Chains A and B, each alone.
Chain A
């Protein structure tokens, strides 16, 4: 779940879908708070956690998500250097382009590893796709919940979650068909109950929306339980005080982190200006932007510096890592993304530093 918020935020940015800055910041913050809860819980269970590739992968995604969030925060802060803010705003989409495939890959690889080592029943090409779809669906549901706390809602996301619930129901049923087993209760909670959003009375009501969101969370939780224990309603039948209090503690910790940071950084959040997706949609090959008509030499074009050079360095880093460690599947991709993101983030600071140096030289 921790990757759901940042995945959705990056996806919306890459697809150039208009969304309020507050919504995207909340999504990114929810991801980081979930990471923080995961770290806090893992400290209690440090004996049973193996430091394997999955942990490093999640760490890399956490770091990249933090970079994405901090970039967004500084870019939104008009009190900061204007040139730096503009430069940071420009690198958000390249960062999203790095984050999206990295999160997809890390989640897929985690699902493949789970199926291979933990429960061979789920071994197959479909399971990772299914897990990624669940993460995306959770991201949408958490957006509605977080926006409800902010006392506003987004009709586009509600429509989006309704449409996604149809595809999720297909995925649930396909999994049941190919594996001959599946949790019907999870299907009802995660896919059937969200159809209530068809009714205006539910859609327009805060409690109606929250019930749908809670139903999705509960449905996905039941599904996770089924995937791990391979038994329908195992979670309900074997509920104990310790398990219930652990879930409660996780929830409380999340709320504590989330609202703590939210209140601390409220001046960044309470600006409803749309900054994502407002670029022109006509940036395709056949309809070039006016800026694209300007001639640049091959290695000095802004697109080359901001996007292609870091991608190239990231690919080189991944290939070097894979060559020296022979680990092409687990960490090579995320490591390349990590290097690429660092290079993308360093550029605005280098740019500002160089421009200041030039100005100083002229004086």
Chain B
């Protein structure tokens, strides 16, 4: 996927996260998450070549990034859900890396290490201030765009 399409995907994740922040109730949030995954799948199918193995999990990577950004807006259990969202992202990326490695293609190990590092750091955060929230969002976006 091109750099521009990747940047648009990142922007979409931000918009989706902002959308979920405004919704309350388990049923509604799940419905919106379903629509988000559907949009992610359609975006991936139109913006990239889905025959390329890297893009198989692209919609779910987008979902993981959306969830990570979403957790910064939580009032309760923020650290726990932040770590869980990053673990989900890590798991999706790890499977992608191993799968690509087994297929003999180049795997983005650096991205994996970066996500693992941020998730590990989040585990030890006692208080998450507004500045740290912003810093985390920037870090995740940087990982998405540059690694």
Instruction: Give the B-binding residues of A (Cβ under 8 A).
Output: 16, 101, 104, 108, 112, 115-116, 123-129, 159, 163, 166-167, 170, 173-174, 177-178, 281-287, 329
Contact = CB atoms under 8 A, between A and B. Distances in A.
B20 to A, nearest CB: 15
A247 to B, nearest CB: 30
A282 B126 CA distance: 13
A285 B37 contact: no
Interface of B: 26-27, 30, 33-34, 37-38, 41, 45, 50-51, 53-54, 56-57, 59-60, 76-80, 87, 91-92, 95-96, 98-100, 102-103, 125-128
A129 B54 CA distance: 14
Given A123-B99, A178-B51, A284-B80, 7 more contacts: A101-B87, A104-B91, A125-B53, A128-B95, A178-B56, A284-B78, A285-B127
A166 B32 CA distance: 11
Contacts, number: 83
Q: Is the interface of B mostly helix, strand, loop or mixed?
A: helix
Given A116-B102, A124-B53, A170 B79 contact: no
A285 B129 CA distance: 11
A174 B59 contact: yes
Contacts of B33: 167
Q: Which 8 A-B pairs have the closest CB atoms?
A: A125-B96, A126-B56, A125-B99, A125-B57, A163-B30, A285-B79, A166-B34, A124-B56
A282 B76 contact: yes
Contact of B76 (A124, A125, A170, A281): A281
Central interface residue in B30, B59, B79, B128, by most chain A CB within 10 Å: B30
Given A104-B91, A125-B57, A129-B95, A159 B27 contact: yes
Contacts of A115: 99
